Amino acid sequence: MNLPEYVKIVDVGPRDGLQNHPETVPLATKIELVDRLTDAGIPVVEAGAFVSPKWVPQMADTADVMAGIKRKPGVSYPVLVPNLKGYEAAKAANVEEIAIFGAATEAFSQKNINCSISESLERFRPVAEAAINDGMKVRGYISCVLGCPYEGDVAPDAVAYVARELDRMGCYEISLGDTIGTGTPAKAQAMIEAVAKDIKVERLGAHFHDTYGQALANLLAVMQMGVAVIDTAVAGLGGCPYAKGASGNVATEDVVYMLNGLGIETGIDMDKLLAASRFISAAIHRAPASKVALAYKGADAA
């Protein structure tokens, strides 16, 4: 198997995981979660989102999260930004990396950010420009790359089109979201193949939700094509407010366990990662969705 030697893990649990949690998660819990993840060696932790609090109330305290965390040198703490208003708030919070987020389907774009794909691209352009001028890094997301809750199948070319647009705006990395987790390995490979025609595969990230239990298989399939950036969520936290039935991102513990078994470097300490998983699971009173976390818990109990 042709696999990368190192995979960069982007833990999106504090944002993607908690954005959909039904009860308010205390600020101190969010801050401790981010700090525990970086202490475990996670190189990129998505810390929050500067979006409308009416749309996503769970992310309303992102400025306080950014002010409260211990910023570890060398670690990136990206936040989602949908428009210039969000950008100004991110800048005021001394954010160093933002993520703009579009979709491969019109219906999802409307439900998620209340505009069409082309309107969203027009909206992102000045945001990316301002961020780059201010010395920030810009990550790009595309949702529904392997299926849409409203439109069903998604053509790889539709994903490649949005990816090219985000690339032109200066995104250093493009994260490809299987928002509803319906993808399977050959479909995931076909999508990567289409996007990688225009953008180097090293600049693509896999952001796979595990709703149908396919995420690890899909990740192995795309790693064989050179993908070496994987978005995960500790404890498999989360879902998506605009994708009914979606479950969380593939659990960080499960991906790190697989990568360890493959001899792929991540720089992550599994014990500290499991401790972070137990911390957030206890804090929000939710059993981890991670098989690895459950297996270690079972072994400990025995």
Single residue of 4, 9, 16, 253 touching Mg ion by CB under 5 A: 16
Residues 1-40, mask of contacts with ligand HMG (x by CB under 6 A): ---------------x--x---------------------
When CB distances are held under 5 to 8 angstroms depending on the partner's kind, the choice from Mg ion, ligand HMG, none that residue 55 binds is ligand HMG
Nearer to ligand HMG by C-beta: 49 or 65?
Answer: 49
Ordered strands of the 137-143 beta sheet:
44-45, 8-11, 229-232, 204-208, 173-178, 137-143, 97-103, 79-80, 48-49
Cβ-based nearer residue to ligand HMG, 33 or 103: 103
The stretch near ligand HMG (CB under 6 A) out of 37-45, 46-54, 158-166, 194-202 is: 46-54
The binder of 158, among Mg ion, ligand HMG, none, by C-beta within 5 to 8 A per type, is none
For residue 86, state whether it binds ligand HMG (rule: CB under 6 A).
yes
Adjacent-strand bridge partners of 208: 178
Which of 37, 69, 80, 273 contacts ligand HMG by CB under 6 A? 80
Q: Which of 55, 150, 161, 212 binds ligand HMG (CB under 6 A)?
A: 55
Q: Which one of residues 25, 37, 47, 56 is an interface residue with ligand HMG (CB under 6 A)?
A: 56
Active site residues: 240
By CB under 6 A, name the binding residues for ligand HMG. 16, 19, 49-52, 54-56, 80, 82-83, 85-86, 89, 101, 112-114, 141, 143, 177, 179, 207, 209, 240
